[in-house]
Amino acid sequence: MSKAAFKGGVHPPEHKEATASSPIERGPVPGRLVVPMSQHLGAACIPQVAVGDSVRRGEIVGSVDAAVSAPVHSPVDGEVTAIASSLTTGGGHATCVVITPLAEQDFDAFVPVPEGDVRARVGSAGIVGLGGAAFPSAVKLSPPKGVVVHTVILNGCECEPYLTCDHRLMVESPGRVLAGARIIAETVGAKRVVIGVEENKPDAIAALDSLAGDGVEVRSLVTRYPQGAEKQLIWAFLRTEVPHGKLPAAIGALVHNVATAAAIADAVELRKPLMERVVTVTGRVARPGNYRVLLGTLVSDLIEFAGGFSGDVGRVVAGGPMTGLALADLDVPISKGTSGIVVFGPDEIAPLVQGDQPCIRCGRCVAGCPMSLQPFAIATHANRRDWITAETLHPIDCIECGVCAYSCPTRRPLLQLIRLAKSAVMAKGAAL
């Protein structure tokens, strides 16, 4: 077993028991899909359809000519009924193509992506990182000239509490995950493939291991958050740190999520666009489970499909409790990066604290930070808008895992303040 040797981290209650054994079920076909044109890092897509157009499942409805982007496809056969700005799960607004599905849908049929090499098919299929980062996968499969990638690492840790969508995918479709892993390795010329899975998923480890064969290692990792973070995974397997300001490719590594690998296999072997994803719906809902959800499905429709609320609701979070975002409106669409919808009761959330709180210098955030940062200090200077001093504390290196905020006894909004510092430092760099 590979030990989780990274510094810091925490082991919050897992809360996975409600859905870890729930087979993936096809989600709803709602009365309308609100498909965002920005479901990825990089340039937002421009609608390629007009109101009144008929669209087929897999047809491109949004694209843009940009180095970093990913096209968006219609998840259904239907009609475009509106193109408008809509609130998203990230809290911002995006242009969306609204589609009314036809009454009958054939989910085995779709408009295939064009012929081409691996990178072309992955790019045309709109594949992005499905672990939450949503970085366009075709770009990630194209390391800089002169860079040699020797190891491909697949992240099957799913260390975030409550979420089990990757767990079920590994149990039910290990062949697709492994096919994607091999495609990635062959494309970048890597000689080694390692799949890391936390030890709390023995059935997933067994399913992958039974099909792995030569050239693929399935490794069990100690359950500790954020074991699935890119740099922590690299340290677990390569015992090498990614230098400050560099990407993993700089040290010969490439990390993909297991769901991303499966989607890459579908794009390359089946020429299938990314039109849906598995989402964990759990917490205070009548029917917790893992659902294969059409992109653009509203959270409200998905919760209704899961039986509706099963008690008083205090907060609904898109993603997991450590890195997810609380939703102010449930009429927001599921996107490529939405891994879960977690419904918390009023007794499961802490009361809101107004503003920043005094730091008591307990050091818990420093001890827990997996990146060896000083979260309390970055937050303090961010609160003062002292960006010059904040920059010297390397907020850019923060992986936004939320361990600092989880560990803080005074409940300072450390993560939010560090994000503020990151944004200011990045804006300064962009202006130079």
* Three-point CA angle 244, 255, 283, nearest 5°: 105
Name the pLDDT band for 429 (thresholds 50, 70, 90): low
Q: Give the residues across from 35 on adjacent strands.
A: 97
CA distance 165 to 201: 12
Give CA separation, 89 vs 127, 306, 340, 353, in Å.
Answer: 19, 18, 11, 23
Name the pLDDT band for 1 (thresholds 50, 70, 90): very low
Residues 260-267 have a mean pLDDT of 98
Q: In whole numbers, what is the pLDDT of the chain averaged over residues?
A: 93
- Domain C-terminal end among 245, 269, 293: 269
Q: Which of 146, 126, 122, 125 is nearest to 134 (CA)?
A: 126
How many domains does the structure of the chain reveal? 3
Q: In the chain, pLDDT over 90 holds for what percent of residues?
A: 85
- Give residue 329's identity as a one-letter amino acid code: D
Residues 388-415 have a mean pLDDT of 93
**pLDDT number for residue 2:** 47
In this structure, what is the dihedral angle of CA atoms 245, 251, 254, 255, given to the nearest 10 degrees?
Answer: -60
Judge whether 165 lies within some domain. Answer: yes
Phi, psi dihedral angles at 396 (to 5 degrees): -60, -30
Residues 240-253 have a mean pLDDT of 88
Judge whether 14 lies within some domain. Answer: no
Judge whether 400 lies within some domain. Answer: yes
Q: Answer yes or no: do 262 and 283 share one domain.
A: no
- Domain C-terminal end among 296, 315, 348: 348
Q: Answer yes or no: do 132 and 257 share one domain.
A: yes
Q: Answer yes or no: do 424 and 284 share one domain.
A: no
Residue 219: give its domain's CATH number. Answer: 3.40.50.11540
DSSP 215-240: TEEEEEE---BTTTSHHHHHHHHH--
Q: Answer yes or no: do 104 and 166 share one domain.
A: no
Name the pLDDT band for 5 (thresholds 50, 70, 90): low
Residue 4 in this model has a pLDDT that exceeds 80: no
Judge whether 168 lies within some domain. Answer: yes
SS3 of 84-153: the string is: EEEECCCCCEEEEEEEEECCCCCCCCCCCCCCCCHHHHHHHCCCECCCCCCCEHHHHCCCCCCCCCCEEE
Residue 185 in this model has a pLDDT that exceeds 80: yes
**pLDDT number for residue 253:** 95
Is residue 404 a contact partner of residue 375, using CB atoms and an 8 Å limit?
Answer: yes
Q: Answer yes or no: do 78 and 140 share one domain.
A: no
Q: What is the pTM of this model?
A: 0.93
Residue 355 in this model has a pLDDT that exceeds 70: no
Q: Answer yes or no: do 204 and 233 share one domain.
A: yes
Q: Answer yes or no: do 97 and 179 share one domain.
A: no
Residue 247 in this model has a pLDDT that exceeds 90: no
Judge whether 317 lies within some domain. Answer: yes
- Domain C-terminal end among 239, 269, 299: 269
Q: Answer yes or no: do 150 and 259 share one domain.
A: yes
Is residue 253 a contact partner of residue 36, using CB atoms and an 8 Å limit?
Answer: no
Judge whether 37 lies within some domain. Answer: yes
Is residue 80 a contact partner of residue 49, using CB atoms and an 8 Å limit?
Answer: yes
Q: 7-10: which pairs have CB atoms within 8 A and are 24 or more residues apart?
A: 7/369, 7/370, 7/372, 8/367, 8/368, 8/369, 8/370, 8/371, 8/372, 8/403, 9/224, 9/225, 9/226, 9/227, 9/232, 9/368, 9/370, 9/403, 10/224, 10/225, 10/368, 10/403, 10/406, 10/407
Phi, psi dihedral angles at 297 (to 5 degrees): -65, 130
Q: Give the residues across from 140 on adjacent strands.
A: none
- Give residue 40's identity as a one-letter amino acid code: H
- Give residue 115's identity as a one-letter amino acid code: E
Q: Which two tokens stand for residue 80?
A: 């475009």
Which is higher by pLDDT, 154 or 213?
154
Q: Answer yes or no: do 146 and 186 share one domain.
A: yes
Residue 151 in this model has a pLDDT that exceeds 90: yes
Residue-wise pLDDT tens digits, 21-43: 999 999 999 999 999 999 998 89
Q: How many residues does the chain have?
A: 432
Q: Which two tokens stand for residue 85?
A: 């700005």
Which is higher by pLDDT, 241 or 340?
340
Q: Answer yes or no: do 144 and 205 share one domain.
A: yes
Lowest mean pLDDT segment, chosen from 66-80, 126-140, 159-173: 126-140
Q: In the chain, pLDDT over 70 holds for what percent of residues?
A: 97
Residue 312 in this model has a pLDDT that exceeds 50: yes
Residue 3 in this model has a pLDDT that exceeds 90: no
DSSP 28: -
**pLDDT number for residue 431:** 56
Phi, psi dihedral angles at 343 (to 5 degrees): -105, 120
SS3 state at 253: strand
Residue 72: give its domain's CATH number. Answer: 3.10.20.600
Is residue 35 a contact partner of residue 99, using CB atoms and an 8 Å limit?
Answer: yes
Q: How many CB atoms lie within 10 A of CB 210?
A: 11
Q: Answer yes or no: do 410 and 373 share one domain.
A: yes
Give CA separation, 247 vs 56, 143, 400, in Å.
Answer: 38, 10, 16
* Three-point CA angle 32, 33, 39, nearest 5°: 165
CA distance 406 to 321: 10
Is residue 201 a contact partner of residue 167, using CB atoms and an 8 Å limit?
Answer: yes
Range of the domain at 183: 118-269
Judge whether 326 lies within some domain. Answer: yes
Residue-wise pLDDT tens digits, 197-231: 999 999 999 999 999 988 899 999 999 999 999 99
DSSP 33: E
b/e per residue 178-198 (b: at least 16 CB within 10 A):
bbbbbbbbebbebebbbbbbb
Name the pLDDT band for 430 (thresholds 50, 70, 90): low
Rg (C-alpha) for the chain, rounded Å, is 21
**pLDDT number for residue 154:** 97
Q: Which two tokens stand for residue 52?
A: 């009144």
Judge whether 291 lies within some domain. Answer: yes
Residue 193 in this model has a pLDDT that exceeds 50: yes
Q: Which two tokens stand for residue 368?
A: 């827990």
**pLDDT number for residue 279:** 98
Residue 354 in this model has a pLDDT that exceeds 70: no
- Give residue 281's identity as a one-letter amino acid code: V
**pLDDT number for residue 41:** 86
Q: Which two tokens stand for residue 402?
A: 């939320």
Q: Answer yes or no: do 128 and 238 share one domain.
A: yes
DSSP 285-297: BSS-EEEEEETT-
CA distance 350 to 279: 25
Residue-wise pLDDT tens digits, 322-353: 989 999 999 999 999 999 999 999 999 877 66
Q: How many CA atoms lie within 13 A of 288 on its CB side?
A: 20
